[in-house]
Amino acid sequence: MKKNLLSVAVAATIMVPALPAFAQEDATMVEEVVVTGSRIKRTNFDEAAQVVSMDRADIDALGNLMIADTLRNTPLNSLGSFNERSGSSAQSNATVDLRGLGSQRSLVMINGRRMPGSPNLGAASINLNMIPMAAVERIDILADGASAVYGSDAVAGVVNLMMRENFEGIEFTTRRGDRANDDGIEESFSFVTGLSSDRGNITFSAEYNHRDPIFDGDREYTSAWIRDNGDGRLDAYLDTDGYSYYGKTIEIYDPNTEYYSIEAATSCADDSTFMETGAAAFGEPDGTLCTYPYANISANKAELSRINTFLSANYEISDNVEFYANALFSKVESFGRYAPPAAAWSDMPADYADVPFDVDALLADGSITDDYEITGYYRWTNIGPRDNNVTDTQYDFTLGFRGDLPNGMSYETYAQKGRYEVKEFGSYYLSYPGLDYVLNNGIDPFSDEGAAAMRALTSQNNFTDQTKVYGHLQFDGGDWFGAGETIVLTGAEAYTVSYANQYDNASEAGLVGGSSGNSAAGERDVAAVFAEAIIPVMDQMEVNAAVRYDNYSDFGSNVAPSLSASYNLTDSLTLRAFSA
């Protein structure tokens, strides 16, 4: 395994100046807590991993509607991330992409535990829109790879969302915003409440928010445009943006003579929605295209309506045994709009009114033979714009115990069950069998009768299911170098992930224009053992060592070691080194 050594001699607040009020954990705290990047509970936070945090005050100060908006603006999300957008099969999803290595390599956890991934993202990435922002107490971002601690999906780093607990009272938050360029609004309402006794606490949070869609046509920089580059000729794709040659464009080709020509349909000029442009981008300077401004119809950002809840409960059974439970339930409904379906009309009749070619003359002069093919590249506007409605539902339950044992030992064990389901329905797609029916029965495909016969509905039925058990034991390993007690943690976990992505049969068979996809399903069993140690070498220096062994049912096994060190030169300057 290749090893890379990184040394950073600056504090976290200097490394990422754009993170508002981010800071290292307060080293004066005496309560033992877990810091992201290690499972070890400790009171000393001078660790070798680079962890930066945003507390509740920082989150509120940004005024974002969702936790995805907050994470998207961090500089550690350096190369962008996926956000809810129309025109995608994952229109309701938002992800974080640490250091540009991909969301599937950026582990997102809640209270140190991984969640079921979105089935519309191959079950490999967490949909941040399923997490209630009102329930988040703190965001920890680990900028280093952490596969030795958390597994292979933490190669790029870790985002750990620490949820609110031990809350007393009730807190309400509401907001509403209007956008200048359209009639859209953003609105949200949330509350957090909690009850405590001398032995336990229950904290419950819930939020609702709604964001209207943003249409490409409402903003100059996303709407369709045409600009002459100075040659006096408008060419598709060279002088346009947001236009497609799938409008009313007709192509003729003969495989025997290799005759080829492409022209705008004869009816192109009769409809002001379409634009006749040159075909220089196709290598046909004398040809024309009948283009369609799809960007004036499509929604850029999908509409979202979210209901998210989170419950945290803990109860001290005895002085050394604590029971805890977490429950998340989220439902997100989204709406996306694409332009009307674009699909080819193969074997187009030569006598159809839109055909601009004199086929008889071409046959007579030998330019084409009887094997010629005419194809129409159409935007089927009479069917209507393609509308997709998606409903995401997720639940996750965790029950566990933690506590102390004799001789400085402590433990934690839990069982977790989660499921993520997606139902997607699409309207106003093109049915190829319907198109064949229309043509075979002499029905004009652009008539109302033709549109009714050609409309198709699409659907997806997807899910991710996860079951997990976990346990670890932490103990003191002795004072090896006379600088303090070595802390050791060993543990194991096992989880099963099932995944399915089921398209409707017509889309999967390629019988629907503007929609396609292949169904997929699978299951993965993972068993892992891991160990960590924090070793004080001198008063200003400590070494962190970790190793993890994973056995994947569908891949094989993997060993991921890491070794890191930190040296405090002064209170504000720390040297860090990391090898993995």
Whether 10 has a pLDDT exceeding 50, the answer reads no
- Report the share of the chain in percent with pLDDT over 90: 54
The yes-or-no verdict on residue 21 having pLDDT over 50 is: no
Instruction: Report H helices in 311-431.
Output: 359-364
Residue found by looking up tokens 């009850």 in the block? 195
Handedness of CA 123, 124, 130, 135 (dihedral sign): positive
Model confidence pLDDT, tens digit, residues 533-560 = 999 998 889 999 999 999 999 889 999 9
**pLDDT value, residue 568:** 84
Specify the CATH number for 5-215+301-339+386-579; select among 2.10.240, 1.10.8, 2.40.128, 2.40.170.
Answer: 2.40.170
Per-residue pLDDT, 365:
94
> Model confidence over 346-358: pLDDT tens digits?
888 899 899 999 9
Residue 9 φ then ψ, to 5°:
-115, 45
- Tens digits of residue pLDDT in 400-414: 999 999 988 999 999
Convert the pLDDT of each residue in 436-454 to its tens digit.
898 889 888 888 999 999 9
Contact between 431 and 407 under an 8 Å Cβ cutoff? The reply is no
Per-residue model confidence (pLDDT) at position 22: 38
Q: What is the percent of the chain with per-residue pLDDT over 70, rounded to a whole number?
A: 91
Q: What is the mean pLDDT of the chain?
A: 86
Dist CA 546 CA 563 (whole Å): 7
Q: Confidence band (pLDDT; 50, 70, 90) for 9?
A: very low
Return d(Cα 368, Cα 356) in angstroms, integer. Answer: 15
Q: Give the integer Cα–Cα distance in Å for 125 and 128.
A: 9
Annotate 450-513 with three-state secondary structure: HHHHHEEEEEEEEEEEEEEEEEEEEEEEECCCCCCCEEEEEEEEEEEEEEEEEECHHHHCCCEE
Specify the pLDDT at position 233. 83
Domain ranges of the chain: 5-215+301-339+386-579, 225-292+342-379
Is the model's pLDDT at 579 over the cut of 80?
no
> What's the gap between Cα 46 and its chain centre?
33
Please give the Cα distance from 76 to 267 (Å, whole number). Answer: 52
The Cβ-side half-sphere exposure at 177, using a 13 Å CA radius, reads 13
Report d(CA 355, CA 358) in Å as an integer: 8
Please list, in sequence order, all residues whose beta carbon lies within 8 angstroms of the beta carbon of residue 545, skipping any fewer than 6 positions away: 532, 533, 535, 561, 562, 563, 564
- List, for residues 453-481, the tens digit of each pLDDT value: 999 999 999 999 999 999 999 999 899 98
**Which pTM value belongs to this model?**
0.85
> Would you place residue 49 in the very low, low, confident or very high pLDDT band (cuts 50, 70, 90)?
low
Listed in order, strand segments (DSSP E) in 143-247 are 157-163, 169-178, 185-196, 200-211, 214-215, 225-226, 240-241
Q: Comparing C-alpha atoms, which of 52, 44, 45 is closest to residue 21?
A: 52
pLDDT at 20: 38
Give the pLDDT of residue 102: 81
Contact (Cβ atoms closer than 8 angstroms) between residue 507 and residue 343: no
- pLDDT of the residue at 43: 64
User: Span 485-501, mean pLDDT?
Assistant: 95
Give the Cα separation of 6 and 576 in Å (integer).
Answer: 8
Residue 555 tokens, joined: 């891949």
Q: Which residues does 17 contact at the CB level (< 8 Å), separation at least 6?
A: none
Alpha carbon separation from 102 to 77, 105, 140, 192, 561 (Å, rounded): 10, 5, 18, 33, 22
Average pLDDT value for residue range 220-234: 86
